[in-house]
Amino acid sequence: MAKEYGEVQLFGVGGSPYARRVRIALEMKGVQYTYFEEDLRNKSDLLLKYNPVHKKVPVLVHNGKPLAESLVILEYIDDTWGNHPILPQQPYDRALAQFWSRFIDDKCLPAITKAAFTANKEERDNSAEESLEALQFLENELKHKFFGGETIGLVDIAAGFIAFWLPAIEEAVGLKLLSCEKFPKLHKWGQEFTNHPVVKENLPPRDKLVGFFKARYASITASK
């Protein structure tokens, strides 16, 4: 069985939403892989060799050939292993899926991160506004059980941050963005997503995550 997939290695970090995306995609497709946990304060020689440009996780290495950037990796995984497709077939639908995953990475995540982890209150409030606007776009876009329809797709996998990391951030810093009153569909989606059999097995321990965010918040506010 392993021979069919070739040799697949994944370099990641337990708490990284980006690395978890790749694990979810590989597991959905039943691809066997070896996982290497990195220490970002002490990056391995292999990581630096495989991702000299950004020096970040996740990095997928398939038969010795490395790839970086989670959205690029996800498309590669879909191109290479055709079962359980995560991207739609039709070009227009594919373009939409790419659009919304980019939106999540370029708008949602930065705004949410800034709303929580900036020392300056005005900047935090502005970012909170931006986050709410971004979440509203996603709320409006959600028309089925998942962004991918009846099964999870690229956008769901990309939006995992919102389903699991955001609530942990909210708890850690006392922020409320994803309320079920304002975003009933997104809120429900978050629960469906985190309860999905493959996703459930591929989330980091919540209390550890909250602890991590609490520490991060403390270091930002302490430097005031």
Which of 3, 45, 83, 92 forms a contact with another protein (CB under 8 A)? 92
Q: Determine contact, residues 193/169, Cβ cutoff 8 Å.
A: no
Q: Which stretch binds another protein (CB under 8 A): 10-18, 93-101, 108-116, 176-184?
A: 93-101
Q: Tell me the site size for another protein, rule CB under 8 A.
A: 22
SS3 at position 153: coil
What letters, b where the CB count within 10 A reaches 16 and e where it falls short, cover 78-88? beebeeeebbb
Q: Determine contact, residues 208/15, Cβ cutoff 8 Å.
A: yes
Which of 39, 45, 79, 150 forms a contact with another protein (CB under 8 A)? 79
First to last CA, the chain: 55
Which of 8, 25, 31, 67 forms a contact with another protein (CB under 8 A)? 67
> Side by side, which strands form the sheet with 65-68?
34-37, 8-12, 59-62, 65-68
Peptide bond into 88 cis (omega under 30): no
Q: Which stretch binds another protein (CB under 8 A): 29-37, 88-96, 112-120, 203-211?
A: 88-96
Q: Taking the complex as a whole, how short is the minimal distance between the CB of residue 1 and another protein, in angstroms?
A: 20
Q: Which stretch binds another protein (CB under 8 A): 31-39, 70-78, 142-150, 166-174?
A: 70-78
Q: In sequence order, what are the residues at sequence separation of 6 or more whose Cβ sits closer than 8 angstroms to the Cβ of residue 23? A: 10, 12, 35, 202
Parallel, antiparallel, or unpaired: how do β-strands 8-12 and 34-37 relate?
A: parallel
Q: Does 64 bind another protein (CB under 8 A)?
A: no
Q: Does 35 bind another protein (CB under 8 A)?
A: no
Give the per-residue contact string, 131-170, with another protein (x = CB under 8 A; - = no). Answer: ------x---------------------------------
> Tokens 């995550």 appear where?
209
Q: Does 4 bind another protein (CB under 8 A)?
A: no
Binding site for another protein (CB under 8 A): 53, 62, 65, 67-69, 71-73, 75-76, 79-80, 91-92, 94-95, 98-99, 102-103, 137
